[in-house]
């Protein structure tokens, strides 16, 4: 990927994601699942921190006249955070998507192996839905991919709080 036309900050983000993608691609399933378990625990343990950040987002969104439906998607409550943590735990329970494959032999004797591998770095752009920050990160880690998350400005504080918990996990 040619990153020469990106800002220095975005170029650094892309370079770091590329390094992370190599690490995730070779990480065993148990290590990826351990991260997800720590992340889910951290979401619950730090839910008050997430809610404080979310209240800043909700307050600003109301002042900006955001629609009621978008406001509802933006709002995080203790039960919603529990739901996000449960979703991460459900991802842990999924079978490891990496390394599985099929082998076939062509009529000329050539053996072909199809094997599932990570894509590498995934860019994820989404609106005012802070739960997507956790969902996208968890799905990408489970599948051995790095992810660059770009959430909507309305959920900036919530997204930062959740992303910081993912980094810490």
Average pLDDT, the chain: 94
**Rounded to an integer, what is the distance from CA 93 to the centroid of its chain?**
16
Q: The domain containing residue 33 runs over which residues?
A: 15-96+119-168
pLDDT at 1: 57
Rounded distance, CA 169 to CA 131, Å?
17
pLDDT at 5: 84
Q: Structurally, how many domains does the chain consist of?
A: 1
Residue 3 maps to a domain: no
Torsion angle in degrees (nearest 10) through CA of 30, 14, 163, 149: -100
Query: The CATH number of the domain where 158 resides is what?
Result: 3.40.605.10
pLDDT at 128: 84
pLDDT-derived band of residue 3, with 50, 70 and 90 as boundaries? Answer: low
Instruction: Express each pLDDT in 142-155 by its tens digit.
Output: 999 999 999 999 99
What's the whole-model pTM score? 0.87
Query: What percent of the chain shows pLDDT beyond 90?
Result: 89
Over range 126-134, report the average pLDDT: 92
Over range 103-126, report the average pLDDT: 92
Residue 58 maps to a domain: yes
Residue 77 maps to a domain: yes
Query: What percent of the chain shows pLDDT beyond 70?
Result: 98
Over range 70-93, report the average pLDDT: 96
pLDDT at 100: 80
Rounded distance, CA 149 to CA 106, Å?
42
Residue 70 maps to a domain: yes
pLDDT-derived band of residue 127, with 50, 70 and 90 as boundaries? Answer: confident
Task: State the Cα angle at 134 between 31 and 141, rounded to 5°.
Answer: 30
Residue 103 maps to a domain: no
Instruction: Express each pLDDT in 14-62 by its tens digit.
Output: 999 999 999 999 999 999 999 999 999 999 999 999 999 999 999 999 9
Residue 6 maps to a domain: no
Over range 125-153, report the average pLDDT: 94
């Amino acid at each position: 990927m040619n990153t020469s036309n990106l800002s220095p900050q975005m170029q650094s983000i892309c370079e770091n994601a590329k390094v992370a993608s190599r690490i995730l691609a070779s990480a065993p399933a148990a290590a990826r699942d351990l991260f997800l378990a720590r992340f889910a625990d951290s979401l619950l343990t730090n839910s008050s921190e997430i809610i404080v950040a979310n209240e800043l987002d909700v307050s600003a969104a109301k002042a900006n006249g955001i629609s009621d439906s978008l406001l509802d998607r933006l709002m995080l409550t203790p039960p919603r955070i529990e739901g996000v943590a449960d979703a991460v735990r459900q991802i842990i329970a999924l079978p490891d998507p990496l390394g599985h494959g099929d082998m076939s032999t062509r009529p000329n004797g050539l053996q072909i192996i199809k094997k599932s591998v990570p894509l590498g770095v995934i860019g994820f752009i989404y609106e005012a839905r802070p739960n997507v920050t956790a969902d996208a990160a968890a799905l990408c880690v489970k599948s051995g991919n790095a992810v660059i998350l770009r959430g909507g400005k309305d959920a900036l504080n919530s997204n930062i709080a959740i992303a910081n918990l993912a980094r810490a996990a």
